[in-house]
Structure 1
Amino acid sequence: MTQRTVQPPPVQGQGHHPLDVDTMREGARRLLAEDAELPTADELETLTLQLRGHIMLAVPEIETAAGRLPTDDVPRACALACVGEARMRLNLEPGHTLPAGIAHAQRLARSVNALVDHYENLGGGNR
């Protein structure tokens, strides 16, 4: 029986840095922690933009790592499904009220957490 080990994503040229998973998780935690304080409208806008940026950075990293796996590989399929869900959430507009904006940002935060999990499972980051 052969043993398959997922290799970390290759360095993609000078200036390429792995995702800062700690910062990404901290941004998500700001909205998802049980004891999280509700953000103000200004804080919410900043958090939403930060989460969108995290997703935009994570998606190509995960696609690259998943693309190196066989097409019938379960972790590949799961990671790519998560990428699809995150992209869909990026295309959604938040509602016009603060609660609707918070709910939207929380969905983005859940996508960030899931993407980071897949990134680490595919060999990225420092574990």
Structure 2
Amino acid sequence: MQTTARPPSAEEAGGRPPDIATMRSGVRRFLAEDALPPGAHELDTLTLQLRGHMQLLIPEVEQIITRLPEDDVPRYCALACVGEARRKLDVAPRPGLSAGIAHARRMARSLNALCDHYENFSGDRS
């Protein structure tokens, strides 16, 4: 049987756990009902922030769910969420401010779901 080494979690690597509160703050910037659309320059900055948060949180969620049984439904849902988040990281926004905002909202929804899975499986309610 061949096993694949998993990357260490932030805590195991001597780091701190992900800052879910900060990540959720970035999500709210796009998904809150009263959120004002950002300008082009701000959009670039916020999109890069969402991307970075997703890149940090994806391996954390993967590491946590490896402890669950393979036939566990919540594990399967979290794996689907991770796969979707990875696909969104590979997509470049179409040109234009409205297309960029739509792209950022899709990323924000994925990051929000990753935060949910992280909190549900780690017990960390930041």
After TM superposition, the score normalised by the length of structure 1 is 0.88
- Judge conservation of contact 2:10–2:18 (CA < 8 Å) in 1: no
Runs (5+) with no aligned partner, structure 2? 1-8
Distance between the aligned counterparts of 1:42 and 1:10, measured in 2?
31
Identity %: 59
After TM superposition, the score normalised by the length of structure 2 is 0.89
Specify which structure has the bigger relative contact order, considering alpha-carbon pairs within 8 angstroms and separated by 6 or more residues: 1
Question: Taking structure 1 as reference, are residues 102 and 12 closer, same or farther at Cα in structure 2, changes over 3 Å only?
Answer: same
> Shift of the alpha carbon at 1:37?
0.5
> Shift of the alpha carbon at 1:46?
0.4
Paired AA for residue 12 in structure 1 = E
> Shift of the alpha carbon at 1:10?
8.1
Regions of 4+ moved over 6 Å: none
Distance between the aligned counterparts of 1:91 and 1:69, measured in 2?
27
| Match of residue 11 from structure 2 | 11
Runs (5+) with no aligned partner, structure 1? 1-8
Question: Taking structure 1 as reference, are residues 42 and 124 closer, same or farther at Cα in structure 2, changes over 3 Å only?
Answer: farther
Count how many residue pairs are aligned between Structure 1 and Structure 2: 118
| Match of residue 20 from structure 2 | 21
| Match of residue 70 from structure 1 | 69
Deviation string 1:73-116 (CA, Å, 9 cap, x unpaired) is: 11111111000000000000101010000000000000110000
